[in-house]
């Protein structure tokens, strides 16, 4: 009975991922390369003295017309040299501004959501573009992103993010992100939007205003996920996540297992408000992985290995177009350790989040 269930779930999982893979292969969209709206880039930074200089250096070399561009860097009450470094770049570049975040008087907004909200409210651009202080962007990032706002129905455009991957620990994280972004791109293309990630995200200001902004969206420790669903579900706008190397952003992996643990716990905690589609997808994946582990624990090695091979094969098909497009095919070398890691954290974190949704972000405890 157990083995029959395992193979049933393996077959359904394979069909599901293959459908997503079809969506990934179709994740190209029409665009208008001449479109030049006013753009506000919002970057929240808390204690980022190690990373913010590289981020702002890349921002300073953007090729978008400066008269149509503003960058609002929100210092979120840092206790290190973050504010000083931002000020340095603000003096060098006329389109970069420093904003010091204050505590939200209403008490509703906390952490990054509060900082981003204040940045948005002090900005003027028709398109709001977000990245993180530990990210580096390409020179043409802005124009290559906004070109996809070629129809009023498009309310949100996201892009891929690649992590540095010099060690196995980093490569597994990098592959994990490519799988996540591939699922996001495939489901969006199939008109079944699930998620997007805030370190390479943009939204039309009118779409942001239509949902009342972060002050009207229920607070979440994953504010990007909450905004994505508000815009695509409540406001009815279309999202796009193209496989476009010109919109790629580069970021840094977690340095320690503890840091990775806190990141994953924050993501899973933020997913507590998932819609029924996302819940269904996750619940199915969780059950399939649980059945695999139970089968292994029962000593049925051959069925477990067969299910593991099926999962690895279809996951490889899912991520192949993105690894190819972004010149990261060497990450295939880490597919097997990634699959072990992936099964472990998908099974580990839901029970942890049920018992405690307290998470850490930038030395703050949020709930």
**Averaged pLDDT for residues 53-70:** 97
How high is the pLDDT of residue 193? Answer: 86
Mean pLDDT, range 242-253, rounded to an integer: 97
| Mean pLDDT within 236-241 | 93
User: How would residue 220 be classed by pLDDT, with cut points 50, 70 and 90?
Assistant: low
Other C-beta atoms lying within 10 Å of the C-beta of residue 206: 13
pLDDT digits over 250-268, tens only? 999 999 988 888 888 777 7
Given a cut of 80, whether residue 359 has pLDDT beyond it is no
145 Ramachandran zone, left/alpha/beta (phi>0; psi -120 to 50): alpha
**Arithmetic mean of pLDDT, 334-357:** 81
Q: In terms of Cα–Cα distance, which of 158, 205, 150 is closest to 38?
A: 205
Residue 365, pLDDT score: 57
Question: Per-residue pLDDT for 22 more than 60?
Answer: yes
Sequence-distant (≥ 6) Cβ neighbours of residue 141 within 8 angstroms:
62, 159, 246, 247, 249
Q: Which residue has the higher pLDDT, 106 or 44?
A: 44
**Three-point CA angle 91, 96, 99, nearest 5°:** 95
Residue 22, classified by CB atoms within 10 Å of its CB into exposed (0-12), middle (13-18) or buried (19+), is: middle
pLDDT grade, residue 41 (50/70/90)? very high
pLDDT of residue 155 exceeding 60: yes
Q: What is the mean pLDDT of residues 133-160?
A: 97
pLDDT-derived band at 235 (thresholds 50, 70, 90) equals confident
- For residue 263 the two structure tokens come to 């990141």
Least trusted range by pLDDT, from 21-30, 96-105, 200-209: 96-105
Question: If you average pLDDT over every residue of the chain, what do you get?
Answer: 90
Provide the pairing of β-strand 364-366 with 39-45: unpaired
Cα atoms in the 13 Å half-sphere on the side-chain side of 204:
22
Mean pLDDT, rounded, for 120-141: 97
DSSP H or E segment with residue 357: none
User: Collapsing DSSP states into helix, strand and coil, what is residue 238?
Assistant: strand
In the prediction, which pLDDT does 352 show? 66
Q: Report, as an integer, the average pLDDT of 5-16.
A: 91
């Amino acid at each position: 009975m157990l083995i029959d269930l395992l193979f049933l779930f393996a077959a359904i999982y394979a069909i599901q991922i293959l459908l997503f893979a079809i969506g990934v292969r179709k994740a190209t969209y029409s665009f208008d390369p001449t479109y030049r709206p006013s753009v506000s880039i919002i970057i929240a930074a808390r204690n980022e003295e190690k990373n913010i200089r590289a981020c702002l250096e890349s921002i300073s070399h953007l090729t978008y017309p400066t008269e149509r561009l503003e960058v609002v860097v929100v210092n979120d009450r840092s206790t290190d040299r973050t504010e000083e470094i931002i000020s340095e770049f603000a003096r060098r570049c006329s389109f970069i501004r420093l904003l010091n975040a204050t505590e939200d008087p209403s008490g509703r907004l906390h952490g990054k959501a509060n900082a981003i909200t204040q940045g948005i409210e002090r900005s003027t651009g028709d398109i709001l573009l977000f990245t993180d202080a530990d990210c580096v962007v390409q020179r043409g990032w802005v124009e290559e992103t906004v070109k996809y706002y070629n129809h009023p129905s498009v309310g949100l455009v996201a892009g891929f993010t690649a992590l540095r991957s010099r060690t196995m620990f980093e490569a597994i994280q990098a592959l994990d992100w490519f799988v996540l972004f591939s699922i996001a791109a495939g489901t969006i293309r199939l008109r079944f939007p699930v998620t997007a990630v805030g370190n390479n995200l943009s939204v039309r200001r009118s779409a942001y205003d239509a949902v009342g902004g972060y002050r009207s969206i229920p607070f979440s420790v994953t504010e990007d996920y909450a905004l994505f669903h508000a815009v695509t579900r409540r406001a009815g706008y279309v999202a796009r996540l193209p496989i476009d190397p010109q919109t790629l952003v580069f970021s840094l992996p977690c340095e320690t297992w503890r840091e990775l643990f806190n990141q994953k716990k924050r993501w899973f905690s933020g997913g507590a408000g998932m819609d029924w589609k996302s819940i269904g997808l996750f619940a199915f994946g969780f059950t399939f992985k649980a059945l695999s582990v139970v089968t292994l624990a029962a000593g049925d090695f051959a069925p477990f290995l067969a299910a593991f091979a099926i999962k690895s094969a279809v996951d490889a098909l899912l991520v192949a177009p993105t690894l190819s497009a972004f010149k990261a095919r060497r990450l295939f070398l880490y597919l097997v350790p990634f699959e072990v890691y992936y099964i472990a954290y998908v099974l580990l974190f839901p029970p942890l989040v049920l018992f405690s949704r307290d998470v850490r972000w930038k030395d703050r405890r949020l709930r």
